[in-house]
Amino acid sequence: MPGLISQTLKAGERCQEPRFPALSIFRARKVESGMSFITVESLTKVFGSGSERQRVLKGIDLSIEEGEIFGVIGVSGAGKSTLIRCINRLEAPDSGRITVAGRDILSLRENDLRKARMEMGMIFQSFNLLSSRTAYGNVAFPLEVAGLPKPKIRERVMSLLDMVGLADKADSHPSKLSGGQMQRVGIARALANEPKLLLSDEATSSLDPQSTQGILELIARLQKALKLTVLLITHEMKVITGICDRVAVLDQGRIVEEGRVLDVFTDPKEPATKGFVEEVLKSGGPMLPDGYKPKGRMLRLRFQGEVVSEPLLSDLAALHSVKAVILQAQVDRIKGEPFATMLLDLIGEPRDLGSATDYLTGLGVRVEGITAHAS
Amino acid sequence: MLLSSKQFLMLWNASLETLYMVSVTTVLTVIMGIPLGVLLVVTRPGHILQNKGLYRVVGFLVNATRSIPFPIFIVFVIPLTRFIVHTSVGVTAVIVPLTLAAFVFLARLTETALLEVPHGVVEAAKSMGASNGRIIWRVLLPEAWPGLVMAVTITIITLISYSAMAGAIGGGGLGDLAIRYGYHRYQKDIMWVTVIMLIIVVQLVQSVGDWLVRRHARR
C-alpha cells in the first residue's frame, strides 16, 4: 500500500526523531499532570446473549503508572485475558473508559487505532509468530507495517535480535526454535517500533520453568533499559513475585485486591489472593507430620525485611517463657526482597503466649492463629 | 499396437484442447476462487471484516452452485455462456461452465486452507497495527501457502476430469476423445491411450503440487 507508506513517512519527517516515523500518536499529546499512564474506569464486557450471557468484566478500575511492571493475576476464566485485550482493543468492551498516555483509546478511529497499536507492543501465550517467516522476518513485520525503508529495517531487526540474544537465529523459522526462543522473537517483535508500553498476555504460561525464568529476566531487563511500562496478566504467582512492582487480583470479573506485590502477598485479605499465596508456599494448608498433636498454640508467621535475618526464635525463647516447634518454614523472594513464612506450635502459659505474640507483632511480624489438620 | 497417423493427430489435437481448456480455466479459477475463499474467511463472525449477512449469502451461493451435477450445470448456464462468449458450443464455450463450477470449489478449499492459520497470528498482526489488507496479503495468504498449493492442485485435477464431460457441448479434449471413440465406437486402443495420458497428466500435476509444498516445508 504505497499511499499508507508515504503518509507515515511524511508524518515521520515532521517528527523530531525520524528514525521511527510511525510514533506520533502518544508523543503528540502531553499527559495531564497527575494522570496515570494507563487508566481503566468502570470497564465492563459481556460475552454472548440470552441464557448464555456471561459478564466477564464487571466494572474494572485500574491505574498503572509510567515505568512500572503491573501484574494482573487470576485463575482461568477470571477475565484477565479479556481485560488486557481491551487495552489495545483486540476486544471491544461494552462500557467504560481506557486511557493510555492521556489518550482515550475507546474513541480512536480505525486509522488512529492502528497507529496507537504500533506504540503498544504485545506478547502472547502461544507466541503467535508467522510460521512462514524466519525470526528475522517476524521481527521485520511490524517495521514493514510502520513503513520503514528496507535498510533501516535490516539495521533495526539485527539490533533487536541481538537485544534478545538471538542474533545467530535470524534465519531460523519458528519451527526450529524452542518455546523460550520463540517468545524472545515475540518480545523483539513487540518492541520493534519502540513502544512505551508492553502488554503481556500469559507470555510464560506455555514455557518450562527454566525458560520462564529467562523470559522474566529479559522482560525485567528490557523494562529498565527501555523505560517501558509493562502490563502483564498471568495465573502464575512466580511471574508476579518475580518481576512485578504492583499487582491486582482479578476474581470473577472484579478486582478484589490491589497494591504493592509485597504488601498484597504478605498480608492477603481475599480468599482468591490467599489461594495464590498458598500456591507459592507450595502447600495447600498447614501440613503436619503424621500423627502430630499440637501441644500449644498453632501460629502462622509472615515477615519480611530486616526481621528475616534476625535470630527471631532464639530471642523469642530467651525473652519470653515459650518454646517453639517449627512445623514449616520457608523464605521466598518477592522482587528480590526476602519474605519468610513459618508455621509454629508455640508452647507455654497462656500469659506468656500472649506476650510472645505481642513481641512478634511489635517487630512487624504478622501473626495468625490457625487450626491445623494433619495431612 | 501402433496408432495410425490419423489417430495420432486426433490425440495431439485433443491434448492441445485439454491443455487450452484446463490452463485458461485454471488461471480464471485462481483469480476468482482465491479471493472468494478469502471473503468466506474474513467475513466470518469474529474475523477481521465480519459481516454475517454477506457471509451467509456467499456461503449459500457457493453451496447452491456446488449442488448441481456438472453435466446439468453446463446446460443450466448456457444463456450466460452465450452472453459472455457469444456461442454455447466448442472449446471456448466450455470455459464458462468449467470456470464457474471450479472457482466455487476452489473457494471452499481456500476457505479450509485459510482457516488453518491460527487466529492468534491474525490477532498478533492486528496488535502491531497492521491493516486488514496487509493481514490478508502478508499474513493469511503466506501462512496458508502449502494449503493453497494443495487446493489449487486438487482444483486442476478436478478440472481435467470435468473437462472430459465438456464433450457434451462439443468441448473436445482428451476425455471427450476417450468417450466418443473409445466408448461409443469401441476403439479400445484410443480409450487406453487417452486414459494413460490422463493418468500421466494428473500424476504430473499432483507431483508438482507436492513438490511445491515440500519445498516450502523444508524451510
Q: Do A1 and B133 touch (CB under 8 A)?
A: yes
Q: Do residues A191 and A226 make contact, with C-beta atoms less than 8 angstroms apart?
A: yes
Calculate mean pLDDT across residues B161-180: 78
Low-confidence ranges of chain A (pLDDT < 50): 1-23, 28-29, 283-285, 373-375
- SS3 label, residue A283: coil
Give the pLDDT mean for B62-72: 91
Which strands sit side by side in the sheet containing A323-334, from one edge to the other? Answer: A323-334, A337-347, A297-304, A366-369
Each residue of A156-188: pLDDT tens digit?
999 999 999 999 999 999 999 999 999 999 999
Residues of B in contact with A199 (CB under 8 A): 127
B-chain residues near A117 (CB < 8 A): 126-129
Q: Note the pLDDT of residue B157.
A: 94
| Complete domains list, chain A, with CATH | 2-277 (3.40.50.300), 297-369 (3.30.70.260)
Res A49: pLDDT:
82
Q: Does A169 touch chain B (CB under 8 A)?
A: no
Nearest to A241 by CA among A225, A272, A210, A263: A263
Strand partners, A297: A346
pLDDT tens, position by position, A63-118: 999 999 999 999 888 899 999 999 999 999 999 999 999 999 999 999 999 999 99
Testing the interface with B: which of A128, A138, A153, A185 to mutate, by most B Cβ within 10 A?
Answer: A128
Residues in A touching B125 (Cβ below 8 Å): 141, 145
Q: What is the pLDDT of residue B107?
A: 97
Contact at CB, B127 and A88, closer than 8 angstroms: yes
Q: What pLDDT is recorded for position A288? A: 62
Do A90 and B127 make contact, defined as CB atoms within 8 angstroms? yes
Residue A262 and residue A334 in contact, taking contact as beta carbons nearer than 8 Å: yes
Least Cα distance to A211 among A160, A164, A147, A158 occurs for A164
Instruction: Tell me the nearest-neighbour CA distance from A93 into chain B, angstroms.
Output: 14
Length of chain B: 219
Q: Is A282 left (phi over 0), alpha (psi -120 to 50) or beta?
A: left
CA closest to A122 among chain B residues:
B127
Number of C-beta neighbours around residue B181 at 10 A:
21
User: Mean of the per-residue pLDDT values for chain B?
Assistant: 90
CA distance B128 to A123: 10
Find chain B residues with C-beta within 8 A of A24's C-beta. none
CB-nearest partner of A115 from B125, B129, B139? B129
Q: Which long-range contacts (CB under 8 A, 24 or more apart) does B7-12 make?
A: B7/B189, B7/B190, B10/B177, B10/B181, B10/B190, B11/B174, B11/B177, B11/B190, B11/B193, B11/B194, B11/B197
Q: Indicate the residue type of A322.
A: V
Contact A276, A237 (CB under 8 A): yes
* Closest in A118, A129, A132 to B129, CB measured: A118
C-alpha cell at B4: 495410425
Measured CB to CB, residues of chain B less than 8 Å from chain A are: 118, 120-121, 123-131, 133-134, 138-139, 142-143, 145, 216, 219
A 174-203 residues inside an 8 A Cβ radius of B: 189, 193, 199
Looking at the complex, report in whole angstroms how far the Cα of residue A195 sits from the nearest Cα belonging to chain B: 10
Helical residues (DSSP H) of B47-131, grouped into ranges? 52-67, 70-76, 78-85, 91-115, 119-127
C-alpha B35/C-alpha B96 separation (Å) is 18
CA distances from A331 to A35, A223, B127 (A): 37, 26, 40
- CB of A7 less than 8 A from some CB of B: no
B128 to chain A: nearest residue by CA? A118
State the first-to-last Cα distance of chain B, in angstroms, to the nearest integer: 47
Please report, in angstroms and rounded to a whole number, the separation of the first and last CA atoms in chain A: 66
Give the residue from chain A lying closest to B120, CA to CA: A128
CATH class of B5-217: mainly alpha
How large is the ipTM?
A: 0.86
Q: Which amino acid is at A30?
A: K
CB contact (8 A) between residue B127 and residue A122: yes
Give me the residue from A114, A120, A128 closest to B124, CB to CB.
A128
* Confidence band of B32 (pLDDT split at 50, 70, 90): very high
Cβ burial, residue A76 (10 Å; 0-12/13-18/19+): exposed
pLDDT for the residue A195: 95
Tell me what pLDDT residue B121 has. 97
Mean pLDDT, residues B187-212: 89
| Spatial contact of A372 and A332, defined as CB atoms under 8 Å apart | no
Using a CB-CB cut-off of 8 Å, the residues of chain A touching B136 are none
Q: What is the pLDDT of residue A320?
A: 87
For residue A290, the model assigns a pLDDT of: 64
Any chain B CB within 8 A of the CB of A315? no
For residue A58, give the amino acid letter: K
Give the mutation candidate from B52, B128, B141, B148 for the A interface (greatest A CB count, under 10 A): B128
Q: Which residues of A touch B127 (CB under 8 A)?
A: 88, 90, 117, 120-122, 199
Q: Where are the domains of chain B?
A: 5-217
pLDDT at residue A15, as a whole number: 37
In angstroms, the separation between the Cα of residue A86 and the nearest Cα of chain B is: 11
pLDDT over 80 (residue B22): yes
State the nearest Cα–Cα gap between A130 and chain B, in angstroms.
7
Task: Please tell me the predicted confidence (pLDDT) of residue A13.
Answer: 38
List Cα–Cα distances, A315 to A311, A326, A356, A360, in angstroms.
6, 15, 10, 10
Min distance B125 CA to chain A CA atoms (Å) = 8
Question: Is A142 touching B (CB cutoff 8 A)?
Answer: yes
Closest of A334, A331, A324 to residue A359, by C-alpha: A324
DSSP, residue by residue, B31-48: HHHHHHHHHHHHTSTTST
Give the integer Cα–Cα distance in Å for A154 and A8.
19
pLDDT in tens, B92-104: 888 999 999 999 9
